Every structure is written in structure tokens, then in C-alpha cells.
Amino acid sequence: MLAPLLLTAGLGTGVASLALHGRWWGLALAAAATLAAVLSLPRGWLARPVFALGWLVPVLVVGLRTGPGGDVVVVADLLGYLLLALALVVAVVVLLTLPAARRGPPDESGSGPVSA
């Protein structure tokens, strides 16, 4: 129920990041809003990754696409590279905060996996 809202919020923030990244204050605002949203969401599979996916789709797919006349949304300048670095930071933060997979059944004390 919450996932569609987070996906929509991520899409909106990503589109706003694309629109504003051409000015230093716009990129700073985009980075602050994006990182605040990602870090304030709870860890797990249904919050941070959903928002990040919504944010990364417009930034990476639309932002790196070349138009028919050679037009691009993210220009190869300092601000454009910083926006792409922000995309990498968002992806790494989300991947590092995913829950760890459980391996094997817990031992008799219930404190962890059984070792052979």
C-alpha cells in the first residue's frame, strides 16, 4: 500500500533533480532532498529500494538518453557528473542497508546458524 506512494515520490524527486541540477543550488537542494528521503525511510525491501528505484529511473534512464538532435538532459560538466555521483551514492546506500539473508536453521540456542 505504501510502495506506490514511495515510487511516485521517488519519480517526482528524480524529475525535480533532473530539472534543477543545472544550477549549484538546485543540485544541492536535490541532493539534500534525495538523501534526506532515503535515509529517513526504514531499512528493508519495501521502503528505501522502492523510493530509490523511482528516483534512479528518471535520473539514469531519461537523464542519460540522447535525443534525435544529440540533445541530452545531463550535460557532461561538473554538475552533471555530481548528479550521476549522487545516483551512485543512492544506489550504494540502498544496497548496503538491505536486510541480510538468513543462512541455515538456527542452532538449539536460537542465536544463529548451525556451523559444521
AA identity, residue 57: V
Which among 8, 11, 2, 5 is positioned nearest to 44, based on CA atoms?
A: 2
pTM: 0.78
- Band (106; pLDDT cuts 50, 70, 90): low
Helix axes 78-96, 48-56, angle to 10 degrees: 160
Give the C-alpha distances (Å, rounded to integers) separating 24 from 21, 29, 31: 7, 9, 11
Per residue in 22-40, pLDDT tens? 899 999 999 999 999 999 9
